[in-house]
Amino acid sequence: MLRFFRNIRQKLLENGNISKYFWYAFGEILLVVIGILIALQINNWNEDRKERAFEKYVLTEIQTNLIQDQQQLLSSIKQRQKAAEAIMIINSNVIEDFTSDEYGKHVANLFTFERFFPIVNGYEMLKSNGLTLSSDELRSLLGQYYEYEVLRVQSSFKDLEKAFLEDARLILEQGFFDELEHAVMVTFTSFPNPELEKALKEYLIVYKENHKNSMLSFEHFKSINEELLSQVKIAINDLSN
C-alpha cells in the first residue's frame, strides 16, 4: 500500500504537477490524522468500557455488602424487640407471676447483646481505585455511610456491650444464676427470689434508656442502609444499559 502511494507521488513529480502533488500530500496527511483520531477514539471507548465494567463489579460487591449489613442489623433489631418486650413484662409484673422457665427466658433476652461487623470489601476496592465513580452524589453517600454512619452505629453496639459488662455483671455476680445461655434460657439458684427481682428492676431503670437510644440508632441506620442500597441498585442498572 505504501509503495502504491509512493509511486503516485513520484509520477506527479516527474510530470511536473507540483500543485497536484501538494494537494495529494495534504490529503495523505489528512488521512493519517483521521486514522490516528479514529484509533484514539476506539482506545477511549475501550478504556471507558473497562472503567464501567470495573465500576459495575465494585458496586455489585458493595450491594452484596449492604445486604449483609442489613441482615445483621435486622437480626439485632429483632433481638432488641425481644429485650423491649422483656423490659415491659418484668416491670409490669411481680416475680411470683412467672414460672422459673418463663422468667429465665425474659432475663436471657435482657442479657443478650450483639456486635455489628460491617462488611466493607466493596468499599475498600473502591478506595483502592481512588473512589472513582460516575456519580459524585453516590460517592458522597458511600463515604457518609462507611466513614461516619457505620462508626456511629458501631458505637451504639459498644454502648450496649459496655452497659452489660459494667451494670448487668453486678447482678450476675450476686449468685442469682446457675447458668445463663444468651437468648435462650437462664436457670436460677433459687426461684422466686425477691432480691433478684429488686436487682433486676433497679438495673432496668438505666437499661431501659440505653435500650431506647440504641433502638433509635439502629432504626436510623437501617433507613440509611436501605436508601443507599436503592441508590446503588439504580447505579448498577444504569451501568448495565
Name 58's Cβ contacts closer than 8 Å, sequence gap at least 6. Answer: 122, 125, 126, 129
pLDDT(191) > 70: yes
- What pLDDT shows up at residue 28? 63
pLDDT bracket for residue 136 (50, 70, 90): very high
pLDDT(113) > 90: no
Nearest C-alpha neighbor of 211 from the set 24, 82, 99, 61: 82
pTM comes to 0.76
User: What is the pLDDT averaged over residues 157-175?
Assistant: 74
User: What is the pLDDT averaged over residues 173-190?
Assistant: 68
**Using one digit for the tens of pLDDT, what is the confidence trace for 10-68?**
554 555 555 554 555 556 666 677 767 776 777 667 677 778 889 999 999 999 999 99
Pick the range with the lowest mean pLDDT from 7-11, 29-33, 108-112, 199-203: 7-11
Q: How far apart are the first and last CA of the chain?
A: 41
pLDDT bracket for residue 124 (50, 70, 90): very high
Pick the range with the lowest mean pLDDT from 78-82, 124-128, 204-208: 204-208
Q: How far apart are CA 67 and CA 79, in angstroms?
A: 18
**Using one digit for the tens of pLDDT, what is the confidence trace for 75-96?**
988 888 888 898 899 888 888 8
- What pLDDT shows up at residue 138? 94
The cell numbers describing 96, all together, are 411470683
pLDDT bracket for residue 206 (50, 70, 90): confident
- What pLDDT shows up at residue 123? 94
Check: CB of residue 104 under 8 Å from CB of residue 193: no
Please tell me whether the peptide bond between 194 and the residue prior to it is cis, using omega within 30 degrees of 0.
Answer: no
Higher pLDDT, 122 or 79: 122
Beta-carbon-side half-sphere exposure of residue 45 (alpha carbons within 13 Å): 6
pLDDT(229) > 80: yes
Percent of the chain at pLDDT > 70 equals 78
- What pLDDT shows up at residue 178? 67
- What pLDDT shows up at residue 100? 87
Identify the three-state secondary structure at position 177. Answer: strand
Name 166's Cβ contacts closer than 8 Å, sequence gap at least 6. Answer: none
Identify the three-state secondary structure at position 188. Answer: strand
Q: How far apart are CA 110 and CA 103, in angstroms?
A: 11
- What pLDDT shows up at residue 139? 94
